[in-house]
Structure 1
Amino acid sequence: MQADAPTASVAAPAPQAPSPATTLESVIAGDWRDPANVARDIWRHPKETLDFFGVSADQRVLEIAPGRGWYTEILVPFVRQQGHYVGAISDPAAAPDERVREYFTKQNADLRAKLAARPDIYGQPTLREIDAARPNFGATDSIDTVLTFRNVHNWLAAGQAEAMFKGFYEVLKPGGVLGVVEHRAAGDVPDGDKSGYVGQDQVIALARAAGFELEASSEINANPADTKDHEAGVWSLPPSLRLGDKDREKYLAIGESDRMTLRFRKPLAEPAGQATQ
């Protein structure tokens, strides 16, 4: 009887390389991004910043007040396949006056139009309208990472900062990350300050009061050329250039603001059955 032929060994499948749609570098290089936004990369360092915050393609990411979508253009396609994007946008019905209501309405419409124009890139992200005085970001312990870029000064001015940080804490999973980028003042700013800058210690205190632990800070978005004493506050600088042609070249030479970059973490829950000491 003839012996059976030896069975050929089957090699284990090779690890799959990440899809281009789920690599941060390729998303940042995506041709769907607004050229005006791409021009800001040299000041906003999106790859380094998102790497510092530990954002990965399989996370549920909540972006706070995305505006017209500078970071949204990157975040939505990055997490689209394996995770999910939620954008917390301002509810026009909660605006304090008609002018602000119209501003929120147009800003929200612009963002929705941007996302709807490229369903092949953005898919179906979630936009959730919130009242910053009483924010509800979704189910408790449902988000991996919360990100906020240059928003804290607005909440402080409106008396909403404590409620917002409390909301971030509630929606994050235990062990989840809060990433904060904010215009950095030379020190604490007084109540009613209208410069657009905030003291780094003030932001840390807000987060700690909500229950967060400061895990790390970074100088990724620092700009030592920013003297922080401008006539129209932070809005004197690009991209706003609120003073128009007045000292325009000076402000262009300074560039965008000096910014703190802070990573906070929601503590892990105690193991089941562990008694409180």
Structure 2
Amino acid sequence: MLKKLALMLVGGAVLITVPIPLSAQSDHSGYTIRRALVHPARPEDDKAVDPFRRPLDVLLFAGLEPGMHVLDVNSGSGYYTEIMARVVGPDGRVYAHNGAVNWSFVKDAAERRYRGPLLNITPIHNGREEVDLPEASVDMVMIALAYHDYWFKHAARKEAEDIPAILASFHKALKPGGTLLVIDHVGKPRSTAEDINQYHRVDPQMVRGQLEAAGFIFAAESDLLANPEDNPLSSPYDPARYGRTNRFIFKFTK
């Protein structure tokens, strides 16, 4: 994608085409995201779930652009990590975080992805849900289908998570004006800890309230992944429902 600069010279008009590096351009059209999604090195298993996860639309809504530094919270085996690493390019960076519980499930798959050619991915798996990144060092925080896991009971989690402390670490790392995006399965209103642990879903308004209490400013929401026919008392891992749950998307700023 090249932008053109037209110069009017004495005696007529001369059109001069000046290439502008993609990393220096805004990407409101999603060109770099589209390019990342069709990259030949991208795993076919990732591409197979794109229709359910709609990464192009999600990342356009988030405002991801080349050159950004992004924190991918509980990034799992790296579905979004790889896409975002290709989008932000060599001038950007993706911090692929996984807490102790997540890491116990995804360690092998994540490490295979990290051994790939993308050198702008920094894994973070220090056994903690909090991150210790420098203050105001990232442009965006992504929490995709992972917020509910703070209540998940597992042998790798020795005690209940201090959610305000976790969110405070994200707030510290995010630049003023930066974006936090959270996507999760919609649970029943006023979900209890036991509800969230059982169904792997969370009440959207609980999430919004906790993030606002942490200092994030609610900016927008999207129904890109909404499914009003979904049952909030069903497991997202039910094969008949997998990838088709009712999911909320909230965008916050700092």
Would you say same fold, with TM above 0.5?
yes
* Corresponding residue of 2:139: 144
The offset of 1:13, in angstroms, is 5.2
Q: Which amino acid aligns with 2:124?
A: R
Cα distance in structure 2, aligned partners of 1:160 and 1:258: 27
- Larger deviation, residues 180-189 vs 151-160: 151-160
CA deviation digits over 1:179-231, x for unaligned, max 9?
0001111312012222111111001011011100100000011122312222x
Cα distance in structure 2, aligned partners of 1:123 and 1:106: 23
Q: Which amino acid aligns with 1:151?
A: A
Q: Which amino acid aligns with 2:144?
A: F
* Corresponding residue of 1:108: 107
Cα distance in structure 1, aligned partners of 2:105 and 2:253: 34
* Pairing 1:123-202 to 2, within 5 Å after superposition: 123-132=119-128, 135-157=130-152, 158-193=160-195, 194-202=198-206
Indicate the RMSD between aligned Cα atoms, in angstroms.
2.7
The offset of 1:10, in angstroms, is 8.9
Cα distance in structure 2, aligned partners of 1:150 and 1:170: 22
Taking structure 1 as reference, are residues 129 and 150 closer, same or farther at Cα in structure 2, changes over 3 Å only?
Answer: same
**TM-score between both structures, scaled by the size of structure 2:** 0.81
Secondary structure of 2:60 counterpart: helix
* Corresponding residue of 1:256: 244
* Pairing 1:47-86 to 2, within 5 Å after superposition: 47-86=56-95
**TM-score between both structures, scaled by the size of structure 1:** 0.74
Decide whether the 8 Å contact of 1:169 with 1:210 is kept in 2.
yes
Number of equivalences = 230
Return 5+ residue gaps in structure 1 as ranges. 1-5, 242-250, 267-277
Return 5+ residue gaps in structure 2 as ranges. 1-9, 24-30, 153-159
Q: Which amino acid aligns with 1:132?
A: R
* Corresponding residue of 1:38: 47
Give 1 or 2: higher strand fraction.
2
Cα distance in structure 1, aligned partners of 2:95 and 2:107: 14
Q: Which amino acid aligns with 2:131?
A: N
